[in-house]
Amino acid sequence: MSDLDLDDLASELADFAPAEKKGGRSPHEERIIAGFEEIQRFADTHGRAPQHGEDRDIFERLYAVRLDRLRESEECRSVLAPLDTHGLLIGAAPAPAEPMDDDALLAELEDMAGPSDITELRHVRTAADKRAAEEIANRTKCEDFDRFKPIFEQVQRDLENGIRETRPFEMKAEIEQGRFFIVGGQKAYVAEKGETTTTDQGRTDARLRVIFDNGTESNMLMRSLQRALNKDDAGRRITDPVAGPLFAGQQSEGDQASGTIYVLRSKSDHPMVAANRDLVHKIGVTDRDVAHRIAGSHLQPTFLMAGVEIVATYELYNIARTKLENLIHRIFEPARLDIEIMDRFGKPVVPREWFLVPLFVIDEAVEKIRDGTITGYVYDPKTASLTRAVSQERR
């Protein structure tokens, strides 16, 4: 840091209007005291001396530079020593990572209105905030977006069906591989997270590959995404698909029956159904007696215009039936039966609740819903098993 004589220092502190004159002090000394009092007020508020660092507020950085220079001047120390109730003049502040004098700091305040006291300025971004905004803005085309587009579409359906929710972003720990956020009005997916590093200040960070739902991507730092979410009033995190305590295995006192999950097997002679009789199942949720629900199934396209048999039922208590049904259908979406049936009027209908999935896997899914571990699972037709949805997305 370059040395300054007292005249230069006094000139730098000229913006600080002196308080009422204290007996016997020169205007030059009053200006020094006024500048030091600003630093003392900062210490009163924050419980420490101002510090250097590009992640610090610009006013704190300015105070830190001023304090360094007051410490360097013997005359300033002599004038201020009786007023230094915080011991701010003792020792030396740590050198900034990137040396910056007042001129460079104040250049960041260009275009701010008026010559008022610097503490009246508002909305001044730190260099770190600016870099975070640049990383969000500087995106490139995602060449393999076809891998991620179905994931974004599924997340949107989950939001519409209440399987996922949006909540305010709260902490950096929420930024993990496989998580979704809304920043700048777009959905963002953390597709990859590199090795976590620690800065000299003890802060952790990691390089991310973030995919956006408009087909772009950014190779940004985790702290940059964190800052962008914090600065965005509409910034949100998107929750994982959480079932929660959807229903209990046994009814407790005071519980109200809400309905039944039912699993049906079709007696249809459709070639696809006949060839996979033991795998083709209809999974639904009803608040009625299941026997009444399937009455007249041979007249309803939702039952494939054929008789059915009940192969499993699961009682529900205190449950949002629609939410649960949407969750189950999301899990087995990859195995949804693609079949077209003519109704009794000859109109083609595509039933949506039939799946090519073994009964034992349906039982497993119900157990995972019961114990709350179903979050993020999806059915993998290749292995005929439930697998983590995120693991599939990373392939």
pLDDT of 75 reads: 84
Q: Are 360 and 313 within 8 A, CB to CB?
A: no
pLDDT digits (tens, 9 = 90+) for 253-283: 554 556 788 999 999 999 999 999 999 999 9
Q: Read off the pLDDT of each residue in 323-334 and give the average, rounded to a whole number.
A: 86
pTM assigned to the model? 0.41
> Would the pLDDT of 114 be above 60?
no
Distance from C-alpha of 13 to C-alpha of 345, rounded to nearest angstrom: 89
| 337: three-class secondary structure by DSSP | coil
d(CA 284, CA 336): 13
CA 169, 173, 175, 177 dihedral sign is negative
pLDDT of residue 34 exceeding 80, the answer is: yes
152-196: per-residue pLDDT in tens?
988 888 888 777 888 888 776 678 888 999 998 899 999 999 888
- Taking the C-alpha atoms of residue 63 and residue 82, their distance in angstroms, rounded to an integer, is 20
Q: What average pLDDT does the segment 305-321 reach?
A: 83
Q: Give the three-class secondary structure for 262.
A: strand
What pLDDT band is residue 60 in, cutting at 50, 70 and 90? confident
With left for phi above 0 and alpha for psi between -120 and 50, is residue 323 left, alpha or beta? alpha
Kind plus residue range of the DSSP H or E element containing 236: strand 236-238
Q: How far apart are CA 155 and CA 24, in angstroms?
A: 72
Q: Name the least confident of 59-63, 77-81, 225-229.
A: 59-63
Q: What are phi and psi of 326, to 5 degrees?
A: -60, -40
- What percent of the chain is predicted at pLDDT more than 90? 20
Quick one: average pLDDT of 271-296?
89
Report the mean per-residue pLDDT for the chain: 77
Confidence (pLDDT) at 12: 55
pLDDT band of residue 18 (cuts 50, 70, 90) is: very low
